Structure 1
Amino acid sequence: MVLVGANVGVAKLLAEALPIPMIACLRCLLACLVLWPLARVMEGRVRPRPAALRNLGLQALFGTVLYNAGLLAGLRLTTALEGGLVLATLPAVVAFGSALWLRERLGARQWAAAALAVVGMAVITIARLGAGGGGHALGNLLVFGGVMGEAAYVLLAKRLAGQVPVVTASFWMQAFSAALLVPLSLPWVGAAAALAEPRLAGLLVFHSLTASVLCLLLWYAGLRQVPAGTAGIFTTLLPASAAVVAVVVLGEQFTPVHGLGFLLMGASLLLATWPGRGRG
């Protein structure tokens, strides 16, 4: 989640220079070039069952296409700092999905933590609307649409956990993602000339190797050990790294509104992860 947060700032820089479908497509193709030989070396020839492939295809649709479309389009209108804060509502959305779809039982503290995360997003969005920052508000809402896609991906990945080896599952998800994105990228193929700039090409490679390779491997491995609701809570770590990159690298301004949003998100994480009494 720290790497995902750091990539919010990287995605904003890429979205300012390249078409959104192309960024996502090239990211997935680069990831496949790394994951395919890695899967063969580490896990051998694995043939996932049709049901597992359907699950991975849906993960690609929601976790890559919808998430990237919402995130990258939103970051064209809002700041990386606020985009990271909006992404911090992911624990709430995952918690609700875990309870409704996976039938995971959530305690009162988990529901309260999810509510705090929602309030945190509402604070920054309402503040923007009140200040006449319509562009930021719309951007924040687009990023939240990406959150919905990412939450669906988390829940689908949890259902698949343990059925397909980690690297193989990561490869197939990226392969399905690339297949979905190639047709959408063709109208802007000429824009790839911008990658002749070493800095932009380097950002794309970093974005692909971290967001589409390392993050996936860590996430799939972690989901084998913890419930989806618990995994969702740790996505609250995302806005912290997003904020560091936004302020230190992109030079964005940290305001009292952002401070209040972080306070609410931090309270959400603390409330959700504080050890309960009477449990060993």
Structure 2
Amino acid sequence: MPIFAYLCLAMSMCMVGSNIGIGKLVLSEIPVFLFAALRFLIASLVLFPGMLLPSFRKGLNKTAWYGLSLQSFFGCFLFSLFMLYGVTYTTATSAGVITSSLPSLIALLAWLWLREKIGVRSLGAIFFAVLGITFLNLQDASSSGNGSILGNALVLGAVFAEALFAVFSRRLSLTVHPWSMAFGVNLVGLLLFLPLAIPQALTFDWGIPSAELWYWVLFYSITASVLSFLFWYRGMSEVPANIAGLFTGLMPVSAALIGLLVLGEVLTTGHVIGMGMVIGSIFLGAKFK
């Protein structure tokens, strides 16, 4: 049993989940595209020194760069775009509940793309995940109007993009060093966001954000773009995609904690029921394993 790989996957997903709320906090003062570009710039600078080591560059060829570009487009560009915009229209708690459908979605894509086995229990897990998200959307619509529906839809788009990222990363992690993969996806992510970020950077008042906010930007960049990628790729090198996908269920737990402790959000009965349905789907899928 690859205990260390499981630990890496768990750490990665806890970091991603906790940053859902932190991203919402940062976006109250920094535009979306500028924040995304800063995140990937900081991460690329942190990871660059490691690329000077030949052992870290092992397996990094033209084919690998193509795979990293696909991962970055889905896992960095689309995921960040949908998630960062999504949390401006919905709560971090709701976003965390929706992201808990990732294990089932990754299992489905792994079955379609990688031909990994999926059975009746896994199909049941997918059903309950969808049911939980539907209940959450109905609950938010009744209490907050259509704005929450838009936010939840964007977060769901981010979940689908992240699922594609997970499936793509499985094959590449078998031949490319985790450090090179983390550097590659961050560098491509920076290049993708740069044309959108430059206009915002030129009109942004850099003196407005407090020193504390810049600390959160640095924290987000290191945890979400450096450590989470390194941990994820290290774990994926030993664990099949459908099993690794189960660890994404840890995201809603950390997201809810940040929503409660940092943002002061309230966990409503509707959130609890929706979360129970989707988390139940995770346990159903895990039992199958």
Aligned to 2:217: 204
**Equivalent of 1:264 in 273, 277, 281:** 277
1:236 shift after superposition: 1.0
Aligned to 1:221: 234
Please state whether the residue corresponding to 2:206 is helix, strand or coil: helix
**Equivalent of 2:173 in 161, 167, 170:** 161
**Equivalent of 1:148 in 143, 150, 160:** 160
8 Å contact kept, 1:18–1:194: no
Q: Pick which of 260-269 and 64-73 moved more.
A: 260-269
Q: How does 1:1-280 map to 2 (within 5 A)?
A: 1-41=13-53, 43-46=55-58, 48-131=60-143, 133-190=145-202, 191=204, 193-194=206-207, 197-274=210-287
8 Å contact kept, 1:174–1:212: yes
Q: Distance in 1 between matches of 2:167 and 2:21?
A: 25
Change (3 A) 1:194 1:257: farther
Aligned amino acid, residue 86 of structure 1: I
TM-score between both structures, scaled by the size of structure 2:
0.91
Aligned amino acid, residue 84 of structure 2: L
Aligned amino acid, residue 197 of structure 1: S
Change (3 A) 1:183 1:17: same
Change (3 A) 1:251 1:35: same
1:169 shift after superposition: 1.1
8 Å contact kept, 2:59–2:177: no
1:60 shift after superposition: 0.8
Q: Deviation digits for residues 161-183 of structure 1, max 9, x if unmatched? A: 22111101110111111111111
Q: How many residues align?
A: 276
Aligned amino acid, residue 259 of structure 1: V
1:157 shift after superposition: 0.4
Q: Distance in 2 between matches of 1:192 and 1:70?
A: 25
Q: Deviation digits for residues 233-254 of structure 1, max 9, x if unmatched? A: 2111100110011011111011
Change (3 A) 1:227 1:155: same
1:45 shift after superposition: 4.5
Q: Distance in 1 between matches of 2:51 and 2:287?
A: 37
1:258 shift after superposition: 0.7
Unaligned runs of 5+ in 2: 1-12
Q: Deviation digits for residues 72-103 of structure 1, max 9, x if unmatched? A: 11111111111111111212221221111111
Please state whether the residue corresponding to 1:193 is helix, strand or coil: coil
Identity percentage of aligned residues: 35
Change (3 A) 1:171 1:100: same
Q: Distance in 2 between matches of 1:145 and 1:272?
A: 22
Please state whether the residue corresponding to 2:174 is helix, strand or coil: coil
1:57 shift after superposition: 0.5
Q: Pick which of 185-194 and 25-34 moved more.
A: 185-194
Superposition RMSD in Å: 1.7
Q: Distance in 2 between matches of 1:204 and 1:70?
A: 18
1:196 shift after superposition: 5.3
Please state whether the residue corresponding to 1:251 is helix, strand or coil: coil
Aligned amino acid, residue 230 of structure 1: I
Change (3 A) 1:203 1:97: same
Q: Deviation digits for residues 127-157 of structure 1, max 9, x if unmatched? A: 2224462111110001111111111111110
